[in-house]
């Protein structure tokens, strides 16, 4: 199943969970269940925006965007993080009001059943989406999946708390649980915004991918005839890029050097699917200088 198909399914599940959780809140009057329903509304908005950004990211390069549109996915992740923050503030507002003016809860059993059913739908979808996000290296899909997992844990906390309210009669537990839910939601929102900012600022690839690149280059390197330096990496949505210099003896023919460069590029792309390599050829006795002295030498 394609990434877009998962996001379309996420929209459908979000609509179903909104209906279930809103029904649970309407039956019980619980501000905790209200906070859970509000987060599902955010899920819906986030999934719809993610679907739009994945569609943009899949567009081929054009005259205005010669390197493609892959970074569009980071806008989705950042937007969803901002939505999560907004939901957290709304939850806290409602919870504080209920803390100051407690109200009795009604028909808790049926409301909790609806909430558990909605959580089961979200949990199953989130697990499948996160697995696909790792395979496809999709920031938008990962953001939506992690948000759904947050929603699941939110629902678990609400259900446990309301069960405690039913057992003890302590009405103040309901708004306190909602505030705790809001804090957890805000934490996840911060993580999504931070990861989106990292992607937009050309963050380097993760340590495991960097190790795979280094191992490929080490397999070609030779102390006297071939070395690599200025190895720089970045991520852009589902794509990863590496730029480097390849030094070889000055008496090598251009044909021989180009053939070796092609072999290195193919080896890199085979080791790291989705990687695009740009290799500059230089004689062994020539060093390229940059204002930034940081470099990697193999």
> Total domain count for the chain?
2
192 and 278 in a single domain? The answer is no
Longest dimension (CA), the chain: 87
Nearest alpha-carbon partner for 297 in 246, 253, 252: 246
Tokens of 77: 């992740």
245 within a domain of the structure (yes/no): yes
Domain membership of residue 298 (yes or no) is no
Return d(Cα 134, Cα 160) in angstroms, integer.
31
Contact (CB, 8 A) for 33 and 111: yes
CA 292 – CA 5 distance, rounded (Å) = 43
Asked if residue 113 belongs to a domain, the reply is: yes
Same domain? 171 vs 85? yes
Same domain as 54, residue 165: yes
How many CB atoms are closer than 10 A to CB 174? 28
Final residue of a domain: which of 200, 235, 263?
200
Inside any domain, residue 97 = yes
Let me know whether 241 and 170 are in one domain.
no
12 and 138 in a common domain = yes
Give the structural domain span for 263.
Answer: 207-283
Dihedral sign for Cα 191, 48, 12, 239, please.
negative
Q: The pTM is what?
A: 0.55
- pLDDT tens per residue, the chain (298 residues)? 676 777 777 788 888 888 888 888 888 877 777 777 777 777 777 777 777 777 787 788 778 877 777 777 777 777 777 877 877 787 787 778 777 877 777 777 777 788 888 888 888 888 888 888 777 767 667 767 777 777 787 777 777 777 777 778 787 877 787 788 778 778 777 877 877 777 777 778 888 889 999 999 999 999 888 999 989 998 776 678 899 999 999 899 999 999 999 999 999 989 988 788 999 999 987 776 655 555 444 5
Residue 218 in domain: yes
- Shared domain for 164 and 241, answered yes or no, is no
200, 221, 253 - which closes a domain: 200
Last residue of a domain, one of 200, 235, 265: 200
Buried b (16+ CB within 10 A) or exposed e, 196-208: beebeeeeebeee
CA distances (Å), origin 234, targets 50, 121, 123, 143, 269? 22, 35, 32, 19, 14
CATH code of the domain covering residue 248: 3.30.70.1350
Backbone angles phi, psi at 295, to 5 degrees: -155, 160
CA distance 236 to 75: 12
């Amino acid at each position: 199943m394609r990434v877009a198909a998962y996001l379309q399914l996420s929209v459908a599940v979000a609509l179903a969970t909104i209906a279930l959780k809103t029904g649970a809140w309407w039956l019980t009057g619980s501000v905790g269940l209200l906070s859970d329903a509000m987060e599902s509304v955010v899920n819906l908005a986030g999934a719809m925006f993610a679907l739009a950004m994945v569609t943009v990211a899949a567009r081929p390069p054009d005259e205005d965007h010669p390197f493609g549109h892959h970074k569009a996915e980071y806008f989705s992740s950042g937007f969803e993080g901002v939505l999560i923050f907004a939901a957290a503030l709304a939850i806290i507002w409602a919870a504080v009001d209920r803390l100051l003016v407690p109200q009795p809860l009604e028909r808790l059993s049926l409301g909790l059943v609806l909430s558990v059913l909605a959580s089961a739908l979200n949990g199953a979808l989130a697990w499948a989406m996160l697995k696909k996000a790792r395979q496809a290296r999709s920031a938008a899909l990962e953001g939506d999946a992690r948000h759904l997992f947050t929603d699941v844990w939110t629902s678990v906390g609400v259900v446990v708390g309301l069960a405690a309210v039913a057992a003890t009669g302590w009405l103040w537990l309901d708004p306190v649980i909602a505030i705790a839910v809001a804090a957890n939601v805000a934490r996840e929102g911060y993580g999504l915004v931070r990861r989106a900012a990292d992607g937009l600022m050309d963050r380097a690839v993760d340590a495991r991918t960097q190790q795979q690149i280094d191992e490929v280059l080490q397999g070609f390197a030779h102390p006297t005839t071939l070395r690599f330096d200025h190895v720089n990496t970045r991520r852009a949505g589902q794509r990863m890029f590496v730029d480097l210099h390849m030094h070889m003896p000055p008496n090598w023919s251009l044909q021989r050097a180009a053939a070796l460069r092609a072999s290195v590029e193919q080896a890199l792309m085979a080791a790291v699917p989705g990687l695009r390599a740009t290799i500059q050829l230089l004689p062994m006795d020539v060093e390229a200088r940059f204002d930034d002295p940081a470099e990697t030498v193999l």
